[in-house]
Amino acid sequence: MNRHSVLLASVLALSSLSLSACTDDDGWVSLIDGDLDQWHIVGDPNWRIEDGMAVADGGTGHLMSNESYEDFELIAEFWVDEPANSGLFLRCDDPAMPGADSCYEVNIYDTREDPTYGTGAIVNVSPIENMPKAGGQWNTYEIRVEGDHLAVTLNGEVTADVHDSLHPAGPFTLQYAAGVVKFRRVDIRPL
């Protein structure tokens, strides 16, 4: 086999690997693909795409999924600065007015005055002891919502595991309220 044939075979092998990474046979859907086509804005946050990431650093409000979800797994990789106030709002009953009373709010808020429902907590549902800090580093939330069971893992540590049936289904949001917030990965798999 000559050099060109070896090079062509290598390129074809790598191409097939990258194609299989884009097409997930396990049902995972990437919601940040270099654009915000699978989202709409509620409020006036300045969500935009920078270097393939969803980024916000001004205004207030939400980047809301166009789709509604009932039972799902969600993986979100995010970076925030220390004063950031953000979160993921799940199963929003009132998409026009997402909030802790109309959605499950998985918080990202290291400097919350009362840390009971700070980073890692589900606001008004599952408080947190020894609140972890997310600011200044990349973090990963793994969230599973199935029936009335909600489980949240932050950077490999379970921060919430509760049963609550207040919000049965709805879209979810990425919140922006303060600081700098970046999401480089948001993948969801309906169950």
Mean pLDDT split into 10-residue runs, the chain, 191 residues: 42 37 75 95 97 97 98 98 98 95 98 97 97 98 98 98 98 98 98 97
Q: How far apart are CA 132 and CA 117, in angstroms?
A: 11
Whole-number pLDDT of residue 91: 98
Whole-number pLDDT of residue 7: 38
Whole-number pLDDT of residue 24: 74
Whole-number pLDDT of residue 109: 98
Q: For 35, which DSSP code? A: S
Whole-number pLDDT of residue 114: 94
| 29 phi, psi to nearest 5 deg | -120, 125
Which ranges constitute the DSSP H helices of the chain?
A: 3-22
Fold of the 27-190 domain: Jelly Rolls (2.60.120)
Q: For 116, which DSSP code? A: G
CA distances from 119 to 64, 91, 123, 152, 190 (A): 20, 19, 9, 11, 25
Instruction: Return the domain boundaries, the chain.
Output: 27-190
Phi-psi region for residue 112, left (φ > 0), alpha (ψ -120 to 50) or beta?
A: beta
Whole-number pLDDT of residue 9: 42
